[in-house]
Homo-oligomer: A and B are copies of this chain.
């Protein structure tokens, strides 16, 4: 079978190797991978690694959909033929998962654990959940990280209420899932972007208001559009000092979910809105398996269709990564046939 591997950090070290089919050990299943959804995090893992625990040879990527082809001894969770998707944080069944204050959990496929850019993987059955019935493999592969991150922020922690307002920054995978979920929960959704084209597509997807962040101060736009009330939920997808803008834009007792790190790994903001408006600021580290199962059920019931910007073949990974460099509208998926 084919598998992408690298022997050291660096995009140029990626090779599509031919390797032996992995055998499922007791408690494991072998899954034929049909689609892999790429995340920005994958670029970092490929280019500079994710820390001392990253194994080499290294196969990148965490999010996949496929079909169970073999089950190891003692597996009752799945049967051959089941359509499944992976969990981003293997072993995080509920709550925060294992880890400590000193060593926060940083465990993921295509990082501390082997990745999924391969024709087959063999992993513990506990690392998978049933795929939604209403999505094809490419669509289903976008749930484990992008979909679940938005769900954790807006449903598991947030519960958005009808009539509330939600703001998402940009039009990447988490942002568009946030837009779709918040609309499905009866919220008004604001989308910011620097591209007229992307704003038009967000509007077509259901955004209530779109804000071109270069033509207008987005916080002032929020004040204008909400009669100064601010927005109830913000997906802070930019990060860094941008948190300070979100603190200005958030409504009294609102919620800011900190997800992105595009503007650096130090968040900053003014104390005054943080103290006087008493918003809840909470980081989001994807989510747990119970939530992913709820998201799968929710997607099926809602008929929610994840937005895929473009699909590539397994051998086209370099082109897919270049697309990721340029920025996508929603997700980029690598399919294997």
Q: Determine whether A47 belongs to the interface, using a CB cutoff of 8 Å to chain B.
A: no
A267 B269 Cβ-Cβ under 8 A: yes
B278 A101 Cβ-Cβ under 8 A: no
CB nearest to A163 among chain B residues: B298
Residues from chain B with a CB closer than 8 A to the CB of A285 are 275-278
Question: In the bound complex, how far is the Cα of B294 from the Cα of A127, in angstroms?
Answer: 26
Question: In the bound complex, how far is the Cα of B100 from the Cα of A223, in angstroms?
Answer: 9
B101 A297 Cβ-Cβ under 8 A: no
A282 B283 Cβ-Cβ under 8 A: no
Q: Determine whether A301 belongs to the interface, using a CB cutoff of 8 Å to chain B.
A: yes
Question: In the bound complex, how far is the Cα of B269 from the Cα of A244, in angstroms?
Answer: 12
- Residues facing B in A181-227 (CB within 8 A) are 181, 184-188, 222-223, 226
Residues from chain B with a CB closer than 8 A to the CB of A272 are 104, 265
A275 B283 Cβ-Cβ under 8 A: yes
Taking the nearest CB of chain B, how far is it from the CB of A241, in angstroms? 9
- Which of A32-40, A53-61, A248-256, A314-322 has 4 or more CB atoms under 8 Å from chain B? A248-256
- Residues facing B in A85-137 (CB within 8 A) are 93-97, 99-106
Residues from chain B with a CB closer than 8 A to the CB of A299 are 163
- Residues facing B in A238-286 (CB within 8 A) are 239-240, 244, 248-254, 258-259, 261, 264-285
